[in-house]
Each structure stands twice: as C-alpha cells, then as structure tokens.
C-alpha cells in the first residue's frame, strides 16, 4: 500500500531512522510509480537529510549531487502529475541554491499560478523576488495572502529588512518567534545572506 509506505517512511525519517525511511520510500515508489507524491517525498527526504546532517554538525554530502538528486525527483513527480505544485516550489528552491534565479522564479511562479492560496509557495516566490531586488513584485504577492496567514509576518519582515528598516523587521520577528509553534529555522537561513 503506497500511501502507507510513504507515511511510514516519513515517520521513520522524523524519528532519526533516515536509511530505513529511504528504503521504505523507494518501496512506495515501486508499488505506485505513478504517484507524484512518492517521488516528491523521496526528494524531500533527501533534502531534509542533508539539512539534518548540517544541523548536527556533520560533514555535508556533496551538495551539488544532493541538489541534483532532489531536483530529478521533483521533475519526476511533475512528469507524472504536471499540476503538482509543491514540486515546482521545491525546484525553485533548488535552482535558487544553485544560483539560477531566473529559473527559480519561473518554477515558483508556476506553483503559485496552480495554487494561489497556498501560503508557503507564495512566501518562497516573495523571497525570490526580494533576492532579485523586485520589491514591487514581492509587495504585489503580499496582497494575495489570505487575511491572517502565518506566512505574512516573515515575508513582511524580509521586505522591511531589505528596505533598510531593520528595527521594524526585528519587531515583527520578535513577535512572530514568541509563538512556540513557529519554527524560525527556515526564515533564519534565508535572511542570513542579507545580515
């Protein structure tokens, strides 16, 4: 049962059993080769495994290979289901890491076009526009958030920071991260190059 194998693989990875999780996600891909979710999840496991290794202070695997492996899996997911928007967003992130900003924006725009109400995909595109220096495009995307969406605060903080208003950015982040349910790691990783 592919979905069960996929969910169990994620569970194992979340509990530190990375190699077992990879084995199970490969079984899920064999059982259901036409499931975009299975290919996408393997890409996510590879990406998350690399992040964990770095967070634990371990030596990173060859980054270019890991990015290429994850990107190939996201592309495989899209070959099975061309409207699978999360794969476009992750491809955008991979291309950004590789310094291919125009391609990253193209993928992120495709993701938002497919599912405009999904906050995390919109947030990634805002961050890419900010990186490009197109603050007007980033602000336009901010207007598309659902009122009260949790992704508004980090995006607004980044825009304030980029505009030189670091005090306002710090106030937004201080308020945001006072919530124990908010994980600051993703945003901190992104804003670090600007600091």
- With both helix axes pointing from N to C terminus, report the angle between 152-162 and 166-177 in degrees, rounded to the nearest 10: 160
Rg (the chain; Cα; Å): 17
pLDDT range class, residue 50, cuts 50, 70, 90: low
Tell me the mean pLDDT in the region 21-38.
Answer: 96
pLDDT in tens, 119-139: 889 989 999 999 898 999 999
Highest mean pLDDT among 53-57, 81-85, 94-98, 133-137: 81-85
Are residues 2 and 28 in contact, defined by beta-carbon separation less than 8 angstroms?
yes
Of 81, 78, 140, 88, whose CA–CA distance to 112 is shortest?
88
- How many angstroms separate the most distant Cα atoms in the chain? 52
Burial 61-81 (b: 16+ CB within 10 A, else e): eeeeebbebbbebbebbbebe
């Amino acid at each position: 049962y592919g979905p069960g194998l996929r969910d169990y693989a994620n569970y194992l990875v979340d509990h530190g059993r990375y190699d077992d999780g990879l084995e199970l996600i490969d079984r899920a891909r064999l059982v259901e080769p036409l499931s975009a979710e299975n290919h996408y999840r393997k890409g996510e496991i590879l990406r998350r495994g690399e992040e964990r290794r770095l967070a634990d202070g371990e030596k990173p695997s060859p980054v270019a290979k890991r990015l290429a492996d994850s990107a190939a899996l996201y592309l495989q997911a899209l070959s099975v289901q061309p409207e699978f928007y999360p794969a476009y967003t992750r491809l955008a992130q991979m291309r950004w890491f590789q310094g291919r900003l125009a391609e990253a924006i193209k993928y992120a725009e495709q993701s938002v076009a497919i599912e405009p109400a999904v906050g995390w995909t919109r947030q990634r595109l805002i961050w890419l526009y900010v990186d490009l220096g197109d603050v007007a495009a980033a602000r336009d995307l901010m207007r598309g958030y659902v009122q009260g969406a949790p992704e508004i605060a980090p995006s607004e903080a980044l825009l304030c920071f980029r505009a030189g208003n670091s005090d306002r950015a710090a106030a937004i982040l201080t308020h945001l991260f006072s919530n124990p349910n908010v994980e600051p790691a993703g945003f901190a990783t992104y804003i670090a190059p600007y600091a």
